[in-house]
Amino acid sequence: MAVQSLPDGYPQFIERADGARIWDVDGREYLDLMSSWGPIVLGHRYPAVEEAVRAQAVAGDCFDGTSPRMVELAEAFVDLVPYADWAMFAKNGTDATTLCCTIARAHTGREIIVVARGAYHGAAPWCTPYPAGVTAADRQNLVYFEYNDIDSLHAAIAGIEDRVAAVIACPVRHDVRREQELAEPQFARALRETCDRIGALLVLDEVRTGFRLDARGSWESFGVRPDLSAWSKAIANGYALSAVLGRADLRDAAGRVYTTGSFWFSAVSMAASLATLRVVSTPAFESNLRAAGQQLRTGLLAQAEAHGFRVRYTGPVQMPLLTFADDDDFALGNAWASAAINNGVYVHPYHNWFLNAAHTPEVIEEILQRTDAAYAALAGQPVAERGLLTG
Ligand code: PMP
C-alpha cells in the first residue's frame, strides 16, 4: 500500500534533494512543487541554512538546558512579527496549535474553542480529521463555524459567548479536497471584533502559511492581528521546529501551562530557523516568491486552455491548487498528477502545493515544459473526456 494516498507513479522513498529537485531511490529526478509539504521555503539544502546547521551541530544539539539560539530566535520572531511579544518553541504544528488552545483556556478560564468546519489544525484527538480512536469527550468543548461566513460564527457562539476561550482559524481556507479560498478581509476583521466583544482570544494557525505569504503575519495587510499564533513547517527550512507567538498579557498564562518535550530545546533546528528568518524577512524573497507563483499560474492556465481542459487555479499563488472542472472524485486531477509525476514534476491533486525560493524563473520554465507534456499525455487518455472544453 502507498505510504500516502497518492496517484499511480508517485515515488514512495526519496533519496536526496537539492534546490528545487528531489531524487527517488531509483535515481529518478523530480522538480518539486510540494516542498516537503511546506517545510522547504528557501529550496532544499539552502546553503546559509545548512552552514548554520553544521556550525551548531559541531557545538552540539541537545543539551541539559537550552542553547542561546532559543533566546536569539525568540527575539528575532518578536522583532519580525508586530503583535508578538514573546515566543515559545516546540517540534510539530500540532504541538503549537494545541498549545495555543491550552494557553487561551488558561488565560480566560473558559473551555470552548471555536473552529472552522473542515479546517486542519493537526493530528491530536481534538483536531484529527479521522474518527479512529477519538472519543466524544475529546471534542466536547469545540463548536464549529463556516470559514468566510461571519453569520455562522455568530450562530455557533449564540448563548455561549461567555464560555468561549478562543476562535482558531487559518489565514487561508486551504482545506484538502476542495478549491482553496482566500479569507475575505471583512471576515478577518469581523473575527477580530467578535473575539474582542466576547472576551475570547483570536488564534491564527500559520502552520501552513507562515513565511510564505507575509512573514510578519498573513493577515497583516488586512490590519488584523491575532492574540496567539501557531507556526511550523517552513520556519526552519526543513528542520523540526514549531513556534507559538503571543501578546504580552498572555505571557503569564503561557508560563503557567505545563509543557515540554524530549527534543523541544534542540539547538540545530533553532540555528536553521535563525538563518531562514534572515532570508524570508527580506522584501526580495517575498516578491520573488510571488512572481514565481504568478509565472506558474499563468503558464499552467495557458496550457490547460491550449489542451482544452477546464481547470480552476485557486489559493494564493505561493500556495496554489490546480483542480479540474466537474471532477468531484478527482479522477482527472489524479490522472493529471500521475502524468505530471511521470514527466518529472511532483505536485498533488487535492492538497495545495508550496512554492519555494529555488523556483527561479528558469526552474518554473522547466516545470512548465514538463507539465505541457503532462497535459498532452492526459488529453490522449479517455478519462480526460469529462473535463474537456468541447464535447
Ligand atoms: N495546522 C495546519 C494548518 C497544518 O497544515 C498542519 C500540518 N499540515 C498542522 C496544523 C499540523 O502540523 P504538524 O503536522 O506539524 O503537526
Calculate the alpha carbon distances from 104 to 114, 229, 326, 376 in Å.
12, 11, 42, 52
Query: Residue 304 Cα, ligand 1 centroid: separation in angstroms?
Result: 31
Atom of ligand 1 nearest to the CA of 91: 15
Measured from the CB, is residue 232 less than 6 Å from ligand 1? yes
Measured from the CB, is residue 327 less than 6 Å from ligand 1? no
Atom of ligand 1 nearest to the CA of 242: 15
pLDDT for the residue numbered 8:
87
pLDDT for the residue numbered 369:
98
SS3 readout for 150-197: HHHHHHHHCCCHHHEEEEEECCEECCCCCCCEECCHHHHHHHHHHHHH
Measured from the CB, is residue 121 less than 6 Å from ligand 1? yes
- The per-residue pLDDT for range 167-180, each reduced to its tens digit, is 999 999 999 999 99
Query: Residue 154 Cα, ligand 1 centroid: separation in angstroms?
Result: 26
Query: Residue 270 Cα, ligand 1 centroid: separation in angstroms?
Result: 19
Query: Residue 71 Cα, ligand 1 centroid: separation in angstroms?
Result: 24
pLDDT for the residue numbered 333:
97
Query: Residue 250 Cα, ligand 1 centroid: separation in angstroms?
Result: 23
> Do 277 and 77 touch, CB atoms closer than 8 A?
yes
Q: Which CATH topology does 47-280 take? A: Aspartate Aminotransferase; domain 2 (3.40.640)
Q: Hey, how many other C-beta atoms are within 10 angstroms of the C-beta on 30?
A: 23
Measured from the CB, is residue 94 less than 6 Å from ligand 1? yes
Residue 90: strand, helix, or coil: strand
pLDDT for the residue numbered 53:
98
Measured from the CB, is residue 120 less than 6 Å from ligand 1? yes
First-residue to last-residue Cα distance in the chain: 36
Query: Residue 267 Cα, ligand 1 centroid: separation in angstroms?
Result: 22
Query: Residue 230 Cα, ligand 1 centroid: separation in angstroms?
Result: 9
The tally of CA atoms less than 13 A away on the side-chain side of residue 108 is 25
Atom of ligand 1 nearest to the CA of 209: 3
Q: Which grid cell sits at 76? A: 528575532
Is 47-280 the same fold as 14-32+283-386?
Answer: no
Measured from the CB, is residue 187 less than 6 Å from ligand 1? no
Measured from the CB, is residue 229 less than 6 Å from ligand 1? no
Calculate the alpha carbon distances from 25 to 81, 190, 341, 343, 364 in Å.
40, 49, 15, 17, 24
pLDDT for the residue numbered 4:
63
Residue 228 is inside which H or E element, if any? strand 228-231
Strands 29-32 and 242-246: unpaired
Measured from the CB, is residue 93 less than 6 Å from ligand 1? yes
Query: Residue 159 Cα, ligand 1 centroid: separation in angstroms?
Result: 31
Measured from the CB, is residue 208 less than 6 Å from ligand 1? yes
**Residues of the chain whose pLDDT is less than 50?**
1-3, 384-386, 389-391
pLDDT for the residue numbered 382:
64
- Cα of 173 vs its chain's centroid, Å: 11
**Whole-angstrom distance, CA of residue 225 vs CA of residue 189:** 9
ipTM: 0.99
Residue in this structure with the C-alpha cell 522513498, named with its chain if needed: 13
CATH architecture under which domain 14-32+283-386 falls: Alpha-Beta Complex (3.90)
Measured from the CB, is residue 303 less than 6 Å from ligand 1? no
- Cα of 107 vs its chain's centroid, Å: 27
| Per-domain residue ranges of the chain | 14-32+283-386, 47-280
Pocket test for ligand 1, best of 91, 121, 176, 213 (most atoms within 8 A of CB): 121
Q: Which grid cell sits at 283? A: 522584501
